[in-house]
């Protein structure tokens, strides 16, 4: 057994017991894990990010047949209170999606929508960003199901509970990676293996040099 296989078995699962693995990363759900992995650095906002390239390296420990990355992007012409804020959000989206592609992920993206938010009396408060990939991930898991033996999902979203139960009824195995606080009881119940993301924090941390590079890209 080589070192990569040893790490995979210790931190994730024994690859030989799980056959062909397809990995699904719901990064909109994953990115907030940083608040729990590094609480001091992220006390007020997410300053210490999860490194997408390191996430890809970690996934590669199990030699997946395919790894898919889902993340919503801000469109360049979206309306924000300040123009420079628009530019920063757009640049950050482009940076993350580009890095995911370079890291070997098959990237699925769509524009984030700004949804009006009102109080109980109907008074407009603000617009909140919304972009989830529940339908896209569900369709991909079902239509590609003949190509894998195991689903490895990076998300704790309870909405996937029914989908994963269905896949298990078809003989598939399920591995879920999530922080303990964000892991839903629905996914906990259906997972063959639950990997607490807290045990992987040291492998996912974006280094200081990369943080500066990320910030520089965002300000271009």
Whole-structure pTM value:
0.86
What pLDDT, on the 0 to 100 scale, is given for residue 77?
Answer: 62
pLDDT tens for each residue of 12-26: 999 999 999 999 999
Exposure of 122 by Cβ count < 10 A (0-12 exposed, 13-18 middle, 19+ buried)? Answer: exposed
Query: What is the percent of the chain with per-residue pLDDT over 90, rounded to a whole number?
Result: 69
Mean pLDDT to the nearest integer, 71-90: 67
Range 204-219 average pLDDT? 61
Average pLDDT over residues 41-60: 94
Output the DSSP codes for 43-84: SSS--SPBPHHHHHHHHHTT--SEEEEE--B--TT---SSHH
pLDDT at 213: 54
For residue 215, what pLDDT is reported?
Answer: 52
pLDDT in tens, 119-132: 787 777 777 777 78
Residue 217 above 60 pLDDT? no
Q: Tens digit of pLDDT for each residue in 127-183?
A: 777 778 999 999 999 999 999 999 999 999 999 999 999 999 999 999 999 999 999
């Amino acid at each position: 057994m080589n070192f990569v296989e040893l790490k995979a078995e210790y931190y994730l699962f024994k690859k030989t017991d799980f056959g062909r693995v397809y990995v699904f990363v719901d990064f909109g759900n994953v990115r907030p894990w940083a608040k729990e992995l590094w609480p001091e650095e992220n006390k007020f906002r997410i300053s210490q990010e999860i490194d997408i390239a390191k996430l890809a390296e970690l996934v590669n420990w199990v030699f997946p047949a395919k790894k898919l990355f889902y993340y919503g992007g801000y469109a360049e012409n979206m309306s924000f209170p300040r123009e420079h804020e628009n530019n920063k959000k757009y640049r950050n989206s482009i940076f993350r999606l580009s890095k995911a592609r370079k890291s070997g992920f098959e990237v699925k993206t769509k524009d984030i929508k700004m949804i009006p938010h009102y109080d109980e009396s109907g008074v407009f408060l603000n617009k909140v960003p919304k972009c989830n990939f529940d339908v896209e991930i569900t369709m991909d898991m079902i239509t590609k199901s003949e190509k894998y033996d195991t689903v490895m999902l990076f998300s704790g979203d309870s909405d996937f509970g029914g989908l994963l139960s269905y896949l298990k009824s078809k003989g598939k195995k399920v591995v879920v990676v999530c922080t303990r606080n964000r892991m839903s009881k629905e996914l906990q119940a259906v997972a063959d293996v639950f990997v607490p993301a807290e045990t992987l924090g040291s492998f996912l941390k974006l280094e200081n040099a990369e943080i500066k590079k990320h910030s520089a890209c965002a300000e271009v």
